[in-house]
């Protein structure tokens, strides 16, 4: 049956009307980052079984799929239909059709959040200090604290000297304890611009009495100024006193109320559940992963608030959906919700639920379907024997993990393969009599078994427990880009991460961010509203 098509104008109208729609780019992340519509979510074709039910939870959602002529869109749409989605169509003309119809294309990732941050600075004139000004404050031991609004692992990779790790949603919660004197200058930084701007403006919106400024252009600006970064820092704040928490909660709720955030009860949650066939609701616990794992409300998944605002499209692929946020302090959920509301989402904060209701522990697995057809499993010890004693080239191992994980460690002789390019990859690999598929846990590999069986008459097996089971068995490993049967396009290299980026790439990234407000104006679908 021919798949229906949806035009650029149809998608645009749905966005302007705030109807639920999921515009899905099924390419790998790197080509996606080279150009895509503002609200397109990246769900690579090879991972749809792992990602779709979690990121597009309502099966009657209007889903529009596209690629850029790679031949991925139609098979991906068929997969989505097999997963139970009832309103799947192809974007007419794909990415070229979008562009030819006058649609704006955006580069990079997490663009809605980054563009919104630029709009906030443009409209609110968020205060900032240059790298040179901040370094001078630190060197003369002025009354200044530097708060790094990124994830802790990003902070540890590289940080401003003397900075303390305070992920974005916690800034209002912890600012008073870290800068108890209202005369203390607070500087908020990230790697580039967005989280610095949003973090600084959060403190301003909440009425923190201190002078507050963003580190202009973050660690990129610091590096471009020729100043040295710290590596491996571990400064984290201590506990927040109850009086400070209560004051922060009052400030945060005031900001959320001004932004139009709604208040939800457990009865509202029940009502939303009864509406599940008609409306998408994302339930998000915005606390730290450690706190969430120790105990959380069933039905909520975890994304720390700062990352939720920074990477909203990673959590919610359905534009026009509803959010319900939850914390245990009255601060993080309200501050995160205030930003999502300004970004055009319908947002509720769940009130009146104590930690005694946090009865579920650990990290619940995302819902995934059973693989099609029978899967033949082989254990690590048997695979090791096949590779050690079998005829040369008889058994080939295909590793479907991320390219970064493959480079870090893989089974000796294994070939890196993107599932979406499996047929092409097979042409790069010497023919074998037996193929063994693996990935980290073999969760993805088991879905690829049926794909591979259609492409070869050889035996197809899946490594039980994946490469992690191989490692646990103490078997040897190989490292590096030893056998790339597919290109490393599964992840876009962000110019602001790591410590070895070219200065030209860093400057080009900043120049791109400066142009986002103009792009928003040309696109015209964002629906952002800045307090």
254 vs 257: CA distance, rounded Å: 5
Contact 400, 445 (CB under 8 A): yes
* Global confidence as pTM: 0.96
SS3 sequence of 431-456: CCCEEEEECCCCCCHHHHHHHHHHHC
Helix (H) or strand (E) holding 325: strand 322-326
3-state secondary structure of 18: coil
At 504 the pLDDT is: 83
269 vs 283: CA distance, rounded Å: 9
- The shares of helix, strand and coil residues in the chain, as percent rounded to the nearest 5, are 40, 15, 40
Chosen CATH of 377-472 out of 3.40.250.10, 2.170.120.40, 3.40.50.150, 2.30.29.30 = 3.40.250.10
For residue 239, report the phi and psi dihedrals to the nearest 5 degrees: -70, 150
CATH number of 5-108: 3.40.250.10
Contact 418, 503 (CB under 8 A): no
Kindly report the number of other CB atoms within 10 A of residue 484's CB atom.
17
Q: Does domain 116-234 have CATH number 1.10.3720.10?
A: no
Nearest to 8 by CA among 109, 132, 92: 92
333 vs 175: CA distance, rounded Å: 16
Dihedral in degrees, nearest 10, Cα atoms 386, 389, 391, 394? 10
Helices 171-178, 194-205: crossing angle, 10 deg rounding: 70
Kindly report the number of other CB atoms within 10 A of residue 386's CB atom.
17
Strands of 144-148's sheet, edge to edge? 128-129, 212-215, 185-189, 144-148, 164-165
At 27 the pLDDT is: 98
Contact 132, 221 (CB under 8 A): no
Tokens of 346: 């319908």
Instruction: Count Cβ neighbours within 10 Å for each residue of 263-291 and write b for 16 or more, e otherwise.
Output: ebeeebbeebeeeeeebbbbbbbbbbeeb
500 vs 269: CA distance, rounded Å: 46
Tokens of 20: 């639920």
Helix (H) or strand (E) holding 471: helix 466-472
Chosen CATH of 256-357 out of 3.90.650.10, 3.40.250.10, 1.10.10.10, 1.20.1250.20 = 3.40.250.10
At 498 the pLDDT is: 63
Domain(s) labelled CATH 3.40.250.10 in the chain stretch across 5-108, 116-234, 256-357, 377-472
155 vs 231: CA distance, rounded Å: 8
Contact 345, 323 (CB under 8 A): yes
115 vs 111: CA distance, rounded Å: 6
- 524 contact partners, CB below 8 Å, separation of at least 6: none
Q: Which residue is associated with the tokens 């490292």?
A: 479
At 494 the pLDDT is: 85
At 334 the pLDDT is: 98
**What are the Cα distances from residue 505, in Å, to 37, 130, 487?**
22, 19, 21
Q: What is residue 168's DSSP assignment?
A: G
- 200 contact partners, CB below 8 Å, separation of at least 6: 126, 127, 128, 188, 212, 213, 214
435 vs 20: CA distance, rounded Å: 42
At 512 the pLDDT is: 81
For the chain (531 residues), the mean pLDDT of every run of 10, in chain order, is 96 98 98 98 98 98 98 98 98 98 97 97 97 98 98 96 97 97 98 96 98 96 95 96 97 98 97 96 97 97 96 97 98 98 98 95 93 94 95 94 98 98 96 97 97 96 98 98 97 77 80 91 97 95
Nearest to 309 by CA among 202, 192, 413: 202
- CA 370 to chain CA mean position, Å: 25
Nearest to 326 by CA among 285, 363, 359: 285
- CA 41 to chain CA mean position, Å: 10
Q: Which residue is associated with the tokens 């969430």?
A: 292
- 530 contact partners, CB below 8 Å, separation of at least 6: 119, 120, 123, 124, 342
What angle (nearest 5°) sits at the alpha carbon of residue 157, between those of residues 486 and 317? Answer: 55
181 vs 147: CA distance, rounded Å: 15
3-state secondary structure of 134: helix
């Amino acid at each position: 049956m021919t798949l229906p098509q949806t035009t650029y104008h149809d998608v645009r109208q749905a966005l302007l009307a705030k109807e639920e729609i999921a515009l899905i780019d099924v390419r790998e992340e790197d080509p996606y980052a080279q150009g895509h519509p503002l609200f397109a979510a990246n769900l690579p074709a090879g991972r749809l079984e792992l990602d779709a039910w979690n990121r597009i939870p309502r099966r009657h959602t209007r889903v529009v799929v596209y690629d850029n002529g790679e031949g991925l869109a139609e098979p991906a749409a068929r997969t989505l239909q097999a997963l139970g989605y009832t309103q799947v169509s192809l974007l007419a003309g794909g990415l070229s059709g979008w562009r030819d119809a006058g649609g704006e294309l955006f580069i990079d990732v997490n663009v809605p959040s980054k563009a919104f941050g630029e709009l906030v600075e443009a409209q609110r004139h968020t205060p900032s200090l240059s790298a040179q000004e901040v370094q001078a404050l630190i060197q003369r031991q002025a009354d200044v604290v530097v708060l790094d609004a990124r994830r802790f692992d990003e902070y540890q990779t590289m940080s401003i000297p003397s900075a303390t790790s305070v992920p974005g949603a916690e800034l209002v919660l912890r600012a008073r304890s870290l800068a108890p004197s209202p005369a203390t200058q607070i500087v908020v930084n990230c790697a580039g611009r967005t989280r610095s701007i949003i973090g600084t403006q959060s403190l301003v919106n909440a009425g923190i009495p201190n002078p507050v400024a963003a580190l202009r252009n973050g660690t990129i600006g610091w590096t471009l100024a020729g100043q040295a970064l710290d590596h491996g820092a571990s400064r984290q704040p201590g506990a927040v006193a109850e009086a400070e928490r209560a004051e922060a909660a009052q400030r945060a709720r005031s900001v959320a109320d001004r932004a139009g955030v709604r208040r939800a009860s457990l009865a509202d949650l029940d009502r939303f559940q009864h509406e599940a066939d008609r409306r998408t609701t994302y339930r998000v616990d915005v606390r730290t992963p450690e706190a969430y794992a120790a105990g959380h409300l069933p039905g909520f998944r975890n994304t720390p608030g700062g990352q939720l605002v920074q990477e909203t499209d990673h959590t919610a692929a359905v534009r026009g959906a509803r959010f319900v946020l939850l914390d245990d302090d009255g601060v993080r959920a309200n501050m995160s919700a205030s930003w999502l509301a300004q970004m055009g989402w319908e947002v509720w904060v769940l009130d009146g639920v104590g930690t005694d209701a946090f009865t579920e522990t650990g990290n619940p697995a995302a819902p995934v379907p059973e693989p099609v057809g029978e899967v033949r499993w082989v254990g690590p010890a048997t695979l090791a024997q096949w590779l050690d004693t079998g005829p040369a080239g008889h058994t080939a191992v295909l590793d479907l993990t991320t390219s970064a994980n493959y480079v870090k460690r893989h089974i000796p002789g294994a070939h890196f393969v993107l599932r979406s390019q499996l047929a092409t990859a097979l042409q790069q690999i010497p023919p074998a009599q037996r193929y063994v598929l693996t990935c980290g846990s073999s969760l993805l590999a088991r879905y690829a078994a049926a794909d591979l069986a259609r492409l070869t008459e050889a035996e197809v097996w899946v490594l039980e427990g994946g490469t992690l089971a191989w490692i646990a068995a103490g078997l040897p490993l190989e490292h590096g880009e030893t056998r790339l049967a597919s290109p490393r396009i599964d992840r876009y290299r962000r110019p602001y991460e790591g410590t070895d980026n070219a200065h030209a790439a860093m400057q080009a990234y900043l120049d791109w961010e400066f142009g986002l407000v103009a792009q928003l104006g040309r696109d015209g679908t964002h629906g952002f509203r800045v307090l």
